[in-house]
Homo-oligomer: A and B are copies of this chain.
Amino acid sequence: MARIRLGMVGGGNDAFIGGVHRIASRIDDRFELVAGALSSTPEKSAASAEALGIPRSYGSFEDMAKAEAAREDGIEAVSIVTPNHVHAAAAKAFLARGIHVICDKPLTSTMEDATALEDAVAQSKALFILTHNYTGYPMIRQARDMVASGDLGPIRIVQVEYPQDWLTSSLENEGLKQAEWRTDPTRSGVGGSIGDIGTHAHNLACFVTGLEVESLAADLQAFGVGRTLDDNAHMMLRFTGGARGMLWSSQVAPGNENALKLRVYGEKGGLEWSQEDPNYLWFTPHGEPKRLLTRNGAGATGPSQAVSRIPGGHPEGYLEGFATIYNEAADAIRSVQGGAVRAAAMGVLPGIKAGMDGMRFIGACVASSKNDAAWTKL
């Protein structure tokens, strides 16, 4: 099957996430990166494109959208990997021309932008895919499948956390670009750790349990000197159907690299998963010995096997999980190109709804915290 012609917006200047998207798009060989508007100036963009072997370079995403839409062999999809505040405008430019969008999260930096983007998605025939990449891990698919199958019984408790430590010191004052834009409200939006990683925790909890957060009570802190955005967030959650939870996100917890961890407990059993050891899933049926499920190992079910590339015991990691989003995006794109309805084609892929949920989550966190942690609806 022919590879999908892909463009990229952002990702030029040694940005971490741009490189991740490119590797992810190659792993399963479904995409061919043929165009880019990789940086803020035409010169920088062209230099990056040449270094990466990308044939067509543009000075801006608008130029790229226009030109590619006009070509017979123009891009079919685009990856948007810029800082948050550019997502909306870039996505709209491509959606308006029927070019499928694969966009980094969180959705946008403001709720206004988010709503406008939501409209743009509704009016386009193209797909909008948000790279909530952790949903691509095989054992997360396994966990979701087990909850849906009733292995845990009705869910009572959800414990989710995403601690990091890289902002323990105030690196934004020392010239680190990643730290600068992530702690800058004009580029990141109103959420600090809650936007950058809290949204991942929130998304993952909902993805695995199939529940939605109805309301939350949040206490946000900015421990770093001079910070205005939260670098640590505590909150309690109330889910649809009566389950309760806690969520902790932090970027000032020394010793934690990307320690995203999810624990779910129901009337019949529990599950536990850690992003840093993603090939394992603890399953604890009540009253029986704990079981350690492994990726593609004994007990693995269809949904995890379907997104697993190699036998158990040879670990797959972050890039493979990310690649699964790209692989399923390729399936979805080919499917809608073949006439399928968008919603059906998306399958479990995170899209505009996941993005809007994330924006509402950020908004509720900030509102609750300003209101002394009062319960706030999403």
Residues of A participating in the B interface, judged by any CB pair closer than 8 Å: 1-3, 16, 19-20, 22-23, 26-29, 52-53, 156-157, 159, 161, 164-165, 168-169, 217, 219, 221, 223, 232, 234-236, 238, 244-246, 248, 250, 252-259, 263, 265-270, 272, 275-279, 282-294, 297-299, 309-320, 372-375
Contacts and interface: CB of A to CB of B under 8 A. Distances in A.
A234 B244 contact: yes
B254 A270 contact: yes
A27 B319 contact: yes
30 contacts: A23-B28, A23-B309, A29-B52, A157-B232, A159-B248, A164-B313, A165-B270, A165-B286, A217-B219, A217-B236, A223-B267, A234-B244, A254-B266, A254-B269, A254-B284, A254-B287, A255-B272, A258-B314, A275-B314, A276-B279, A287-B298, A289-B291, A289-B292, A289-B298, A291-B292, A309-B319, A310-B318, A310-B319, A314-B317, A372-B375
A291 to B, nearest CB: 4
B236 A253 contact: no
Nearest to A372: B375
Contact of A320 (B156, B292, B309, B319): B319
Nearest to A178: B311
Contacts of A238: 219
Number of copies: 4
Given A217-B217, A254-B287, A258-B314, 20 more contacts: A16-B310, A16-B311, A27-B27, A29-B52, A156-B223, A165-B284, A168-B267, A168-B286, A219-B238, A232-B244, A235-B236, A254-B266, A257-B311, A258-B313, A276-B313, A289-B292, A290-B292, A310-B319, A319-B319, A319-B320
Nearest to A3: B53
Contacts of A232: 156-157, 244
Contacts of A169: 286
A372 B368 CA distance: 13
B299 A289 contact: yes
A276 B290 CA distance: 15
Contacts of A375: 372-373
Contacts of A52: 29
Contact of A156 (B28, B252, B268, B290): B252
A234 B246 contact: yes
Contacts of A268: 254
A52 B29 CA distance: 9
A22 B288 CA distance: 31
Nearest to A282: B255
Nearest to A161: B159
Contacts of A258: 311-314
A53 B32 CA distance: 12
